[in-house]
Amino acid sequence: MSIKETIIERYPSREQLVQNGIWRSELYRNRASMAGCDRSWLWRTLVLTPHMEMDVSPFEGDLLPVPLITTKREEEEQEGDQQVKPTSHERSISEYRKKMQHNIKMGIRRLTPREVVHDPLQDSKGAHVPTIENDELSLDEALEIIDLDLSRLMLDDMFRDPAVLAQLRQLLYNYLIISKQRQSSHSFIKDPMEENGDSGEPTTFRYKQGYHEILGLIYLQLSPENGTTILDSEMMRNVLNIYIKLMDQVAPVFYDEQALINWDETQFSLILKNASPILYDVMYENGNSHNNLIWLLRWTKVLFLRELPRDQVLIIWDHLLTFTYPIANYVACLIVTLLLSIYDQLLELNKHDSDHDDIIEMMLHFKENKVIPSIDMVELCKLAGNICELWYSRQFHDIKSICDSFIKLKTGIDTSNTIDPNRQRLENKLRQNVMKSLSKGK
C-alpha cells in the first residue's frame, strides 16, 4: 500500500492527518516507508486543500512566460527567426539557453544596485530604515542571478535538464511578480510590462540567493516519480502555490536583514534563554548576537536544507507545511532543540573558544561533520512544537523543565541546578593550572 493510500485510509480529514499523522508521529512509525517517499501528494494535501484562512486566494491562471531581455546583438540575431512560432515552453527553454550563452559572451553582471540610499552599516537600534527598497533589482539583474543560482542548484540530477531549469526560472519569475504586486497591494497577477504602460521599463524585484533552493525542493517533491519529465501546467501551479504559501512566512523574516536580527533578539535568543540559561550564556556570552547570525543566516534561509540530511529535512518540512505554528517561531524552537541535542559538545567547545569561532565553525559544518550522528527528527519536531505551545502560553518554567529532561536524556547532564558557565570555565582553568603546577612539581 502506498503512502497516499495509507493516509487516505487512515485519516478521513486533513485535520486528522495533521494532528495524528504528523504531530503525533503516526506517519513516521514506519520510518522506512517515509524515508524515500516523495511528498507530492502529502504536501499538496497539507497546503492546497482549502482549509485555512488564506491571505489571498491561490494562483489559478496560467503562469506568465519569462520576458526576453535582449541586447541589440540578440535582437539582431532574433530578426531572422521571426517567422518561427514556437510554443511558450519551447520559447522559455530557448530563452534560458540564449541567456546562459549571453552571460558567457557578455559577462556583465551587476548583482546589487551600485548605490544605496541608506547604509545599513551605520544604523543602530531604533534607527531602522526599511531595507527592502535597497534590495530590489531590475528584471534583467534578477534574472541573471536566478540563472546563475539555478545553474548551481545541486539538489538533484534532474536540475541539469535545461527544460527543468526553464520551468524553475518561470516559477521564480512568477513568484517575484506576485510578491512584488502583493507588496504593492495590487491585484493578484499582472504582467509587469503592462504596469508601466507602453514604456516597457521593467519594474524592480526582490530576489535573494536561497529562494531557488527552497523552490527546488518543492519542485523535486512534486515532480513525476521518474524525475525526467517536466511538470504539467496544473502541477506548476501547485508548486507555485506551495512556494508562495511557504515564502509568505519565510521571506519577510529570514530574507530581510533587520527582521532576522529582530527574530534573533525577540524569539530565538529568548526561547534559548528559557530553554537553557547555560546554553544561552555560552552562545551569547560576548553579547554579540551577530556572531550567531553568521550561522543562523543559512540555517534559516534554506530551512535546514544545507544543515541536515534530506530525509530529516523532509520531516521538518512536513511539520512546517502544516502551518500549525508560525514558521519563524517554530524554526526558532527547532534550532533550540538541535542545540540542546549537542549541549555537551557546545559546553566543551566553549571551554577553549574565547572568540566563539569554533562554535560558529561547528554550526556551519553541521552536516559534513555529522555533529549529531543519529538524529531522531520526529522527536525533535515534536519537542519543538511543545516549546512553541509553552512559549505562546508564556509557561516559561515549563519550557525549562522539558528542556532539562531532554538534555538529561540526551547527554546525561543534569541541568536543573544552574551553574554559571563563566564560573564553571574559571573553575576549569584553575583546575588545569593546579594540575600543571602539580605535574611540574613532580
Partner 1 sequence: MNNEDYGYDYDYLFKIVLIGDSGVGKSNLLSRFTTNEFNIESKSTIGVEFATRTIEVEGKKIKAQIWDTAGQERYRAITSAYYRGAVGALIVYDISKSGTYENCNHWLKELRDNADDNVAVGLIGNKSDLAHLRAVPTAEAKNFASENELLFTETSALNSENVDQAFRELITAIYQMVSKHQVDLGDSGNNAAAAPKGPTISLTPTPNENKKSSSSNCC
Instruction: Enumerate binding residues for partner 1 (CB under 8 A).
Output: 104, 107-112, 114, 116, 119-121, 123, 134, 145, 148-149, 152-154, 208-210, 212-213, 257-258, 260-261, 288, 290-291, 293-295, 297-298, 301-302, 306, 352-355, 357, 360-361, 364, 426, 429-430, 433
User: Min. distance of Cβ 218 from partner 1 in angstroms?
Assistant: 17
Cβ nearer to partner 1, comparing 4 with 429: 429
Q: Which is closer to partner 1, CB of 163 or CB of 364?
A: 364
CB of 46 to partner 1, least distance (A): 26
The least distance separating partner 1 from the CB of residue 108, rounded to whole angstroms, comes to 4
Q: Are 228 and 161 in contact (CB under 8 A)?
A: yes
User: In the complex with partner 1, which residue's Cβ is closer, 6 or 70?
Assistant: 70
Nearer to partner 1, 102 or 237 (CB): 102
Which cell numbers hold the place of 320?
A: 512546517
As measured in angstroms, the least distance from the Cβ of 234 to partner 1 is 30
Pick between residue 118 and residue 408 the one whose CB is nearest to partner 1.
Answer: 118
List alpha helices for 184-268, DSSP H.
192-195, 211-222, 233-254, 257-263
Mutual angle of helices 327-341 and 343-352, in 10-degree steps:
70
Tell me the HSE value of 381 on the side-chain side, using a 13 A CA sphere: 23
CB of 42 to partner 1, least distance (A): 26
Residues 6+ apart with CB under 8 A from 386: 402
Residue 187 CB, shortest distance to partner 1, in Å, is 30
Residue with cell 508562495: 244
Q: How far is the CB of 326 from partner 1 (least distance, A)?
A: 22
- Going by C-alpha positions, the residue among 272, 260, 220 that lies closest to residue 242 is 220
Task: Select from 243, 415, 429 the least CA-distant residue to 354.
Answer: 429
Q: Which is nearer to partner 1, 242 or 260 (CB)?
A: 260
C-alpha distances in Å from residue 209, one per residue of 53, 112, 261: 30, 12, 18
Judged by beta carbon, residue 38 or residue 123, the one nearer partner 1 is 123
- E strand or H helix at 137: strand 137-138
CA distances from 433 to 209, 427, 436, 437 (A): 48, 10, 5, 6
β-bridge mates for residue 121, sequence order: none
